[in-house]
Structure 1
Amino acid sequence: MRERQSVAHQLDPAARRVLERVEVDGVELVRFLYADHGGVIRGKAAGRSRLAERLGTGIGHTVAMMAMSILDHLQPVEGMGPVGEVRIVPDPRTFVALPYAPGAAAMVSDLRDLDGGPWAACPRTFLKDAIAALEAEGYAAVAAFEPEFTLGRRLPDPAGGPDRLVPLDDSPCYATSGFDLAHDYTMQLVRALESQGMPIEHYYPELGAGQQELSIRPATALKAADNHVIYRETVRGVAFRMAMWATLAPKPIANQAGNGAHLHVSLWDPALEHNLFADGHGGLSALGRHFIGGVLRHLPALVALTCGSVNSYRRLQPRSWSSAYTCYGMDNREAAVRICSPMSGNIEATTNLEIKPSDSSANPYLSLGAVIHAGLDGIRRELDPGDAVNVDPATLTDEERARLGCARLPASLGEALDALEADELLMEALGPLRRAAYLAVKRSEVADFAAQDVAYETFHHLRVY
Structure 2
Amino acid sequence: MGPVPAQQWGDARQTAARLDAEHVRAIALTWVDNAGVVRTKTVPTARLAPAVQRGVGMSPVFDVFTADDAITASAHLGGPDGDLRLFPDLERLTVLAAQPGWAWAPVDRYDQLGTPHPACQRQFARRMVERAADAGLALRMGFETEWVVSRAPLHGRWPDGAAGGGRLDGAVGTGDPLEYPCVGPAYGMTRVVELSDYLRDVAEALALQGVEVFQLHPEYAPGQFEVSTAPSDPLRAADDLVLVRETVRAVSLRHGLRASFAPSVVAGQVGNGCHLHLSLHRGERSLHRDPDARWGLDPDAVRFLGGILEALPALLAIGCPSPASYLRLAPSMWVGAYQCWGVENREAALRLVTGAPGDPDGGHAEVKPFDAAANPYLAVGTVIAAGLHGLSAGAELPPPVTGDPGVLGVRERARRGIVRLPASLTESTDRLARSTTLAEAMGEVLHGAVIAVRRAEAAHCAEMEPADIAAATRWRY
TM over 0.5: yes
Contact 2:9 2:53 in 1 (8 A): no
Contact 1:393 1:401 in 2 (8 A): yes
Instruction: Give the deviation of 1:256 after TM superposition.
Output: 2.3
Contact 1:91 1:108 in 2 (8 A): yes
Which residue pairs with 2:289 in the alignment? 278
TM-score (norm 1): 0.94
Secondary structure of the residue aligned to 1:327 is strand
Contact 2:319 2:370 in 1 (8 A): yes
5+ unaligned residues in a row in structure 1: which ranges? 1-6
Which residue pairs with 1:27 in the alignment? 24
1:325-336 aligned at under 5 Å gives the runs: 325-336=338-349
Which residue pairs with 1:354 in the alignment? 366
- Provide the C-alpha distance between the structure 2 equivalents of 1:424 and 1:236, rounded to a whole number of angstroms: 37
- Percent identical: 36
1:396 equivalent to 2:389? Answer: no
Q: Which amino acid aligns with 1:276?
A: L
Return closer, same or farther for 1:93/1:261 CA change in 2, 3 Å cut-off.
same
- Provide the C-alpha distance between the structure 1 equivalents of 2:5 and 2:151, rounded to a whole number of angstroms: 44
Which residue pairs with 2:457 in the alignment? 445
CA displacement, residues 75-98 of structure 1 (integer Å, 9 cap, x when unaligned): 123333201000111111111111
TM-score (norm 2): 0.92
Return closer, same or farther for 1:423/1:276 CA change in 2, 3 Å cut-off.
same
- From 126, 140, 144, the equivalent of 2:124 is 126
Secondary structure of the residue aligned to 1:336 is strand
Secondary structure of the residue aligned to 1:264 is strand
1:232 equivalent to 2:230? Answer: no
- Provide the C-alpha distance between the structure 2 equivalents of 1:420 and 1:138, rounded to a whole number of angstroms: 27
1:314 equivalent to 2:327? Answer: yes
- Provide the C-alpha distance between the structure 1 equivalents of 2:15 and 2:196, rounded to a whole number of angstroms: 33
- From 163, 169, 190, the equivalent of 2:203 is 190
CA displacement, residues 381-418 of structure 1 (integer Å, 9 cap, x when unaligned): 12111100012111222222223221100001111001
Contact 1:307 1:359 in 2 (8 A): yes
Range with bigger deviation, 389-398 or 203-212: 389-398
- Provide the C-alpha distance between the structure 2 equivalents of 1:397 and 1:452, rounded to a whole number of angstroms: 31
Secondary structure of the residue aligned to 1:326 is strand
Contact 1:8 1:53 in 2 (8 A): no
CA displacement, residues 362-384 of structure 1 (integer Å, 9 cap, x when unaligned): 00010111111111111111211
Range with bigger deviation, 448-457 or 9-18: 9-18
- From 65, 69, 73, the equivalent of 1:68 is 65
- From 170, 173, 190, the equivalent of 1:177 is 190
- Provide the C-alpha distance between the structure 2 equivalents of 1:22 and 1:71, rounded to a whole number of angstroms: 34
Q: Which amino acid aligns with 1:69?
A: T
5+ unaligned residues in a row in structure 2: which ranges? 158-170
Instruction: Give the deviation of 1:14 after TM superposition.
Output: 5.6
Which residue pairs with 2:397 in the alignment? 385
Q: Which amino acid aligns with 1:109?
A: V
Return closer, same or farther for 1:399/1:160 CA change in 2, 3 Å cut-off.
closer
Secondary structure of the residue aligned to 2:187 is coil
Secondary structure of the residue aligned to 1:365 is helix
Q: Which amino acid aligns with 2:384?
A: I
Secondary structure of the residue aligned to 1:339 is strand
Q: Which amino acid aligns with 1:275?
A: S
Which residue pairs with 1:4 in the alignment? none
1:429 equivalent to 2:441? Answer: yes
CA-based RMSD of the aligned residues comes to 1.9
Return closer, same or farther for 1:310/1:227 CA change in 2, 3 Å cut-off.
same
- Provide the C-alpha distance between the structure 2 equivalents of 1:56 and 1:118, rounded to a whole number of angstroms: 15
